[in-house]
Amino acid sequence: MRLLIAEDDKLHRSFLEGVARDTLPDLDDLTITSDGEDAIAAFNTSDYDSVVLDLQMPKVTGVEVAKSIWAKKPHTKILFWSNYTEEAYIRGITKIVPGAAVYGYILKSAPEEQLKLALQGVFIAEQCVIDREVRGVQQRAGDRLSGLSELEYEALIDLCLGLTDKAMAARRGVSLRGAQSRLQHLYQKLGLDKGDIPIGEWGPSFNSRTRAISLALTLGILNADALRREEENLKVWLSKAN
């Protein structure tokens, strides 16, 4: 068994290394990298069947590393090991996981025992091991009731990037009214219906447009990190479209 680890925090890195050595008996090779680029490079120069990825890393996210890895070898087993349950990451992962791939998702705050079980479960028993909390978010995302559809999610991103309605329409290839319609649905899902916002004597307290961003952030649908990455995508589009 050949294992590749990518994790930027020094402490967590050495902790993880220790646990992995303890838990996995037949470890032929163990390579440890501290950012996404190195991880991809390492994967391309040698053969690994198992990978542990932190999600938040400088330059290249764990999600992107996974994408690159699975594009090359879809049967690679990947365990995601992260601090947060941000819906943005989970969405990213479920979008790129190949049909029959084995993967896991566990939180750093989980006790050591759970980490050990996850390592064995994913890499030895080849099961999918997904943390309870994460599982909750995952279901909401797939569920039409409390979660956002893919289109609404796109609208949310554009909104959070600060685009105008017109720009959204242009970017997504729909009419102005189309973009506004998506926003409207988004507002509804987030509970910004007319009745729901408190009204003081000075009038309605919230501006739907900005309040939507606020909610997305506090509810953990998006985070600053994901935003910075979307900003990159936007730049690409802007330069291509101008």
Site residues (vs DNA, CB under 7 A) = 144, 149, 151, 164-166, 169, 174-185, 187, 192, 194, 203-204, 207-209
Q: Which is nearer to DNA, 41 or 176 (CB)?
A: 176
When CB distances are held under 5 to 8 angstroms depending on the partner's kind, the choice from a copy of itself, DNA, none that residue 10 binds is a copy of itself
174 binds a copy of itself (CB under 8 A): no
> Which of 156, 158, 103 minimizes the C-alpha distance to 134?
103
5 token code pair: 């680890």
| Two structure tokens written together for 26 | 């037949």
Please state the closest distance from residue 114 (CB atom) to a copy of itself, in A: 12
Output the CA torsion 105→106→108→111 (10° steps): -170
Distances (CA, A) of 19 to 76, 116, 215: 21, 7, 38
Tell me: does residue 15 bind a copy of itself (CB under 8 A). yes
Q: Which of the choices a copy of itself, DNA, none does residue 241 contact, using the CB cut-off of 5 to 8 A by kind?
A: a copy of itself
Decide if residue 12 touches a copy of itself (CB under 8 A): yes
Please, what is the minimum distance in Å from the beta carbon of residue 186 to DNA? 9
Mark 201-230 with x for binding to a copy of itself (rule: CB under 8 A) and - for no binding. Answer: xxxxxxxxxxxxxxx-xx-x--xx--xx--
* DSSP codes, 19-44: HHHHH-S--SEEEEESSHHHHHHHHH
Distance from C-alpha of 102 to C-alpha of 172, rounded to nearest angstrom? 33
Residue 185 interacting entry, from DNA, a copy of itself, none, C-beta within 5 to 8 Å by type: DNA
Compute CA distances 92 → 149, 165, 167, whole Å: 14, 25, 24
Tokens of 163: 């685009």
Binding mask 126-165 for a copy of itself (x = CB under 8 A): ---------------------------------xxxxxx-
Strands 199-200 and 203-204: antiparallel
Binding site for a copy of itself (CB under 8 A): 9-12, 15, 108-109, 159-164, 166-167, 169-170, 198, 200-215, 217-218, 220, 223-224, 227-228, 231, 238, 241-242
